[in-house]
Amino acid sequence: MRRGTAFVTLLLLAALAPREAAAGPALVIELSNNKVLYAEDADSPWYPASLTKIMTAYLVFEALKAGKLDLNTRIPCSAAANAQPPSKIGVAVGNELTVNVALNALIIKSANDAAVMLAEAVAGSEAAFVAQMNATAKRLGMERTVFVNPNGLPAPNQVTTARDLAKLARAVLKDFPEYEYLWAKPEMRLGKSRMVTHNGLLRSFEGADGMKTGFTCDSGFNVVATASRDGRRIIAVVLGDHSSGERNVRAASLLEYGFQQHGWKQLFSSTTLDNMPLATAAAVKSVRNDVTSWGCNERKVRAAKAGAKKRTAKASKKKKPGTEEAAKAAPITVEVAPEGGDGTPATVQLRGTTPPPAAASFQQQ
């Protein structure tokens, strides 16, 4: 192992030491050959939250391909769709959206009402659509996934795994490349409203081009993230982080690790998404008591905010005149000396304020 690579691994281990046991499942694959580059608890059941909407979008894409709908088809908002809790766009009962606008709202805004509107347009009812979701999951080999609704709102029996989500992401990208642009859009406009994606990697990680985030109190902060560089595409699945910031930095570090695994390194591993041994089934976990979010664990949120205020006040007292701009412009940068090639270090820049809290030391699986 070269010096730069060892340094990054030690940095990640040091960052993770106090919370390693709390880290959720993670999986990294290369899309072109399905090689597993990193896996941790990839078959452990987890609540998908709004990652459910990736399957909802997949079934809408199928309906578009079959000619059942087109992007300009206008679909109505039912009372059931209108009654969905946030995140939503707030369409009134009887009002209509085009399929195109509803898809954008589903993926970018993560709108729960748009998910039900699309489900009813595709299958006639939400229940019929959920049946299609489960049939499609079975066809795609998502062995431990069960869907109960089309938007990922809390439901005890709605579960998935990191492996199953990677299979779904693979299917979306390979079966419907014509809709890839939707996953990469950072924002949308609906009337005078500007709606911004929850996927912060689209703005902060080089090559990021999709896909979807999810959050409930029990699931924690989830993301399926994709990025492309030099003709390669990496998919990372991260589940159960305690804040959106931790989720983004952990996903960024996993994607970066994936890109550092050059082709010759993969020759030493024959593990793919499909032949990786299936782990023993376990009970689904909740991270409600660990997440930092109002409505889930308010005591932790208050403690975190109080701690942040104290640190800010302490830093302000110590800050010297003229140092403010320098402090703002200091991302975390490490150099990774690749094994092989001309030995030129690759710069890994992470925009978080702490070393990346990855799931464990990065070892090829």
Predicted confidence at residue 276, as pLDDT, reads 96
The whole-angstrom separation of Cα 203 and Cα 302 is 28
**211 preceded by cis ω (within 30°)?**
yes
Predicted confidence at residue 211, as pLDDT, reads 97
Q: What value does the mean pLDDT of the chain take? A: 83
Please check whether residue 42 is in contact with residue 276, taking contact to mean a CB–CB distance below 8 angstroms: yes
User: Exactly one of 53, 88, 109, 285 is catalytic; which is it?
Assistant: 53
Higher pLDDT, 359 or 174: 174
Higher pLDDT, 8 or 192: 192
Among residues 65, 93, 90, 91, which one has the least CA distance to residue 79?
A: 93
Its pTM stands at 0.79
Predicted confidence at residue 340, as pLDDT, reads 41
Identify the helix (H) or strand (E) that includes residue 237.
strand 232-241
Predicted confidence at residue 329, as pLDDT, reads 40
Which residues, 6+ apart, have CB-to-CB distance to 236 below 8 Å?
26, 27, 28, 223, 224, 225, 226, 227, 251, 254, 255, 258
Residue 81 has pLDDT above 80, yes or no: yes
**Encoding tokens for residue 356?**
């990346």
- Does residue 50 carry a catalytic annotation? yes
Residue 98 has pLDDT above 70, yes or no: yes
In which band, very low, low, confident or very high, does the pLDDT at 293 lie, cut at 50, 70 and 90?
confident
Residue 17 has pLDDT above 70, yes or no: no
Residue 226 has pLDDT above 70, yes or no: yes
Query: pLDDT tens across 151-179, in order?
Result: 999 999 999 999 999 999 999 999 999 99
User: Exactly one of 50, 243, 253, 293 is catalytic; which is it?
Assistant: 50
Q: Name the 3-class secondary structure at 27.
A: strand
State mean pLDDT over 231-245. Answer: 96
Phi-psi region of 191 (alpha: psi -120 to 50; beta: other; left: phi over 0): left
Query: pLDDT tens across 296-354, in order?
Result: 876 655 655 666 666 767 766 665 555 444 444 444 343 433 434 444 444 444 333 23
Predicted confidence at residue 305, as pLDDT, reads 64
- Does residue 270 carry a catalytic annotation? no
Identify the helix (H) or strand (E) that includes residue 120.
helix 112-123
Predicted confidence at residue 297, as pLDDT, reads 73
Predicted confidence at residue 270, as pLDDT, reads 87
Predicted confidence at residue 131, as pLDDT, reads 98
Predicted confidence at residue 160, as pLDDT, reads 98
- Does residue 53 carry a catalytic annotation? yes
Residue 148 has pLDDT above 60, yes or no: yes
% pLDDT > 70, the chain: 74
Instruction: Give residue 9's Cα distance to chain centre.
Output: 23
Identify the helix (H) or strand (E) that includes residue 66.
helix 52-66
Q: Rounded to the nearest 10 degrees, how much is the dihedral formed by the CA atoms of 8, 291, 114, 58?
A: 40
The whole-angstrom separation of Cα 30 and Cα 166 is 10
Superfamily of domain 3-350: DD-peptidase/beta-lactamase superfamily (3.40.710.10)
Residue 236 has pLDDT above 80, yes or no: yes
Domain positions in the chain are 3-350
User: Exactly one of 44, 110, 243, 244 is catalytic; which is it?
Assistant: 110
State mean pLDDT over 176-198. Answer: 95
